[in-house]
Structure 1
Amino acid sequence: MSTAPASRLQMQELTKRYGTTTALDRVDLDVPPGSFTAVVGPSGCGKTTLLRLLSGLEPATSGALLADGRDLTRVPAGERGVAMVFQDYALYPHMDVAANISFGLRLQARRRRGAGPDRATIARRTREVAELLELGELLHRRPDQLSGGQRQRVALARAVVRRPPVLLLDEPLAALDAQLRASARAGLQRLHREIGATVVMVTHDQHEAMTMSDHLVVMKDGRVVQAARPQEVYAAPVDRFVATFVGSPPMNLRPGPGDGVLGWRAEDGRLLAPGEEAPAGHLLVEGTAELCEFTGSAQDVVCHDGTTSFTLRQQSGTRWLQAGEPVRCAVAPQRLHHFDRDGRRTG
């Protein structure tokens, strides 16, 4: 299925205020063309506001939004070449699947009076996107006859059939159960490969963001804190907020040299056998196991050293720990993260 060339999105000091409340604070962000960009952050960080400004549903207070160099800041939503899928799908209950998918194209044809797609083109494109999203057998059903996963795919199809260069997703999997989410994640990634559009997805689910995206944006208090490949954000967080927000379990933190802070990931601690010494240069961490969570292929052990808590992740094939056991582990120096007293990464 062909689509319009993917767009590069650029935000330059993009700001949104509601009265005295600043929802977006001078956001500078570059979204690569054809990327699958996920935006994450705590509730109220501005990620949904950012999506609404990209779509044109909300006007910016100041700053600029560019698509391939074209200034979209004041361009109406319908003229931006952007399609958006909302969390609640917003399907028309009185229309069947085919009519829901083709609604935007039919509206376009009426508005342009001959310059838009004709009936044959609309029917062909509706069939193409229905087959792509495995909806071919459901075209004559109404939304109340569909499962949650099927309704989500219809909403995606309605957006994709327009062949937009930019596709915006607002918590697209939030209403699905765990089993449906797994298949929907795979479907969204396959769809992205097929259409090649620039995708920007807002989600509160880190697992979705890390597994689906090739570009991860972390926001806090209306600002972008870090934007990079998910692997880079996880391996080299720019500050303690990102270190503890991205990743599950969050990064362990403990006082470091001077007034600095040391961090280490749960999987980077190696459990020491009774009587075994930590190798030279390694950080020795000791405590007592308080909570042992078996996850199937691993065990997450929450420990306490009398002052702070830390989590150790044990992989399958090692000895499972029990609550109350003493725990000693070593962390290699190259696996340590260093932060200054203000929380900024120093190494």
Structure 2
Amino acid sequence: MTALLPSASRPSDRTPAPPHVELAGVTRTFGTTLALAGVDLAVPAGSLTVIVGPSGCGKSTILRMIAGLDAPDSGTLRIAGDDVTARAAGERDVAMVFQDYALFPHMTVEGNISFGLRLQARHHRRSGPGRDEIRARVGEVCALLGLDNLLHRRPAQLSGGQRQRVALARAIVRRPALLLLDEPLSALDPQLRASARAEIRRLHRELGTTLVLVTHDQHEALSMATHLIVMDQGTVAQSGNPGELYRHPCNELVATFLGTPRMNLHDRDGVRIGWRPADGRSATHRDGVPPGAFLVDGVVESCEFTGDGQHARCAGPDGTFVLVQREGESWLEPGDTARVTVPAARLHRFGPDGRRLP
């Protein structure tokens, strides 16, 4: 089913926040492979920005560059208005949560969370945090993430969800202006992923920190982002409000990447017509076709029950398509003839080059 868009992603009359992170003309190659091809993008201050795209599109390379773990071959990277292109990772007010969490196995939860602060205190004896401040900040972040009763355990004694919270706590306790998350939920089972998504959204609201998250999961991206960036082969395909990208994709890649089940596409008179499976309505030959509506016929090949509805997969003269049917509708069955109408306002049109047409 299509991911529900968060309230923060709905259009508003507020003035967009200025960019916290800016990439201008950034390129990066690895051997003969072009990972980033002149990328221009902006991360609004205070946003929960999600960078999404298929494997190999360059999203993790961008995150590593923002963190200072990799450097561009050309181009400029700014954080809070400062050019940090050549600045070391330790000189940027940035914290990162890695995909595998990278916890120290020999340390307790408390030791893992306080490690960065203790290093800071050791290297900056006059300006660094004291013991009491470290203890207070660790206690504060553990209360925020529900880790109070796990302080003396080691990573091997924790579940996947608990390890993820410890990794978040270790990053948050430093109070960075910018928090980076690299596929933070990929190791969790589906039920834990749902609760972890909600937890990250809550943390973003409460902390007010600019957060950049990388994922290949479009459902995760749509359900979490306040600002969405879709990558394609080392370039930014489209960026902006998640609802706008979903409703008005700029090209076929964005249209078919966002949304589950994926958008249906049909060739008609040199134009590609697209429609979301949930926007179609089952009809019969006796029913009239609304003015401007798109009509497609087929035969049901299979049906997938989803709990609150079903996905009917059909094949017809215009190719295959999927129709989402809700609870209470007269459901189609394999072998049935499917006739579907789609309102004109719900149609998407793409030219031969894949770009959206007016």
Q: Do both share a fold (TM > 0.5)?
A: yes
Residue aligning to 1:286 = 297
1:213 pairs with 2:225: yes
Q: Distance in 1 between matches of 2:266 and 2:135?
A: 61
| Aligned-partner SS, 1:267 | helix
* Residue number in structure 1 paired with 2:277: 266
> Residues 7 and 197 of structure 1 are in contact (CA less than 8 Å); yes or no, is this contact kept in structure 2?
no
Check the 8 A contact 2:181/2:212 in 1, yes or no. Answer: yes
**How far does residue 274 in structure 1 lie from its aligned partner after superposition?**
5.0
Aligned amino acid, residue 112 of structure 1: H
Q: Deviations over 1:5-61 (max 9, x none)?
A: x97111101111112221011110011001011111111111111111111101111
SS of 1:8's equivalent in the other structure is strand
Q: How far apart, CA to CA, are the structure 2 residues paired with 1:79 and 1:291?
A: 56
Identity of aligned residues (%): 55
1:317 to 322, 328, 350: 328
| Contact preservation (8 Å) 1:83, 1:166 | yes
| 1:244 partner letter | T
**Cα deviation per residue 1:235-261 (whole Å; 9 max; x = unaligned)?**
00000111111111111111133x221
Compute the TM-score of the two structures, normalised by the length of structure 2: 0.93
| 1:98 has 2:110 as partner | yes
Aligned match for 1:46, one of 58, 76, 82: 58
Aligned to 2:353: 342
Q: Name the SS of the counterpart of 1:324 in structure 2.
A: coil
Matched, 1:256 2:268: yes
Query: Match for residue 10 of structure 2?
Result: none
- Output the CA distance in 2 between the equivalents of 1:334 and 1:87: 40
CA distance in 1, matches of 2:127, 2:304: 61
> What residue number does 1:3 align with?
none
CA contact (8 A) 1:105 1:162 kept: yes
Deviation of 1:315 (Å):
1.2
- Give the one of 282, 297, 321 matched to 2:308: 297
**Residue among 32, 36, 40 paired with 2:44:** 32
Cα-Cα RMSD: 1.4
> Are the equivalent residues in 1 in contact too, given 2:20–2:80 (CA < 8 A)?
yes
TM score, norm. by length of structure 1: 0.96
Matching residue within 93, 96, 106 for 1:81: 93
Number of residue-to-residue matches in the alignment? 342
CA shift at 1:277, angstroms?
2.5
Q: Counterpart in 2 of 1:176?
A: 188
SS at match of 2:112: helix
Q: In the alignment, what sits opposite 1:199?
A: 211
SS in 1 for 2:253: helix
Question: Could you tell which deviates more after superposition, 154-163 or 15-24?
Answer: 15-24
Q: Structure 2, unaligned stretches of length 5 or more? A: 1-17
Query: In 1, distance between residues paired with 2:172 and 2:206?
Result: 11
Judge conservation of contact 1:40–1:217 (CA < 8 Å) in 2: yes
For the 8 Å contact 2:230–2:239, the answer to whether it is kept is yes
Per-residue deviation, 1:151: 0.4
Q: CA deviation at 1:273?
A: 3.4
Aligned match for 1:13, one of 6, 25, 38: 25
**Does structure 1 residue 166 correspond to structure 2 residue 175?**
no
Q: Give the C-alpha shift of residue 126 in structure 1.
A: 0.4
How far is the alpha carbon of 1:204 from its aligned partner? Answer: 1.3
Equivalent residue number for residue 75 of structure 2: 63
Give the C-alpha shift of residue 120 in structure 1: 0.6
